Amino acid sequence: MVGADSRWRNELSAGVLGEALLRSPVRHAAAISCPLWIGLGDRDRSVDPRVITTLARRAPHAELHQLPHDHFSPFQPHSTVPAQQVDFLRRTALRA
C-alpha cells in the first residue's frame, strides 16, 4: 500500500493491542443509537467475520456492507467504499 521508499513501519505497540482487546463493541452494540455503517471484506484476515456480523445484528441501526476487499484495499484510490459511506451519511444523517 505504500511505496518501497516509504519510512512507514507496519508495527503496532503491545499497549494498543491490549487496549483493543479490552474493548468490545459487540458487548455494547445494542446501546449504539446512531446509524452505523459496517464494512466486512470477504478477503479480510485481520478480523473475525463472525464478530463483525454479530455486531451488525446487535446494533439497532447498523448496515452491514459485504465487500470484495481485504483489510486495506478500501484505502486504495480505486475503492468505492468512500462513496458508499458518503451515501450512507446522506441517507441516515437526519435520523441521528
- Predicted TM-score of the model (pTM): 0.77
Whether 96 shows a pLDDT value over 60: the answer reads no
Rounded CA separation 34/28 (Å): 13
CB atoms within 10 A of CB 62: 16
What local confidence, expressed as pLDDT, does residue 11 receive?
A: 79
Rounded CA separation 52/35 (Å): 15
> For 9-61, how does the pLDDT look when each residue is reduced to its tens digit (9 = 90+)?
877 788 887 787 788 889 999 999 999 999 999 999 988 999 999 999 999 99
SS3 62: strand
Amino acid, res. 40:
L
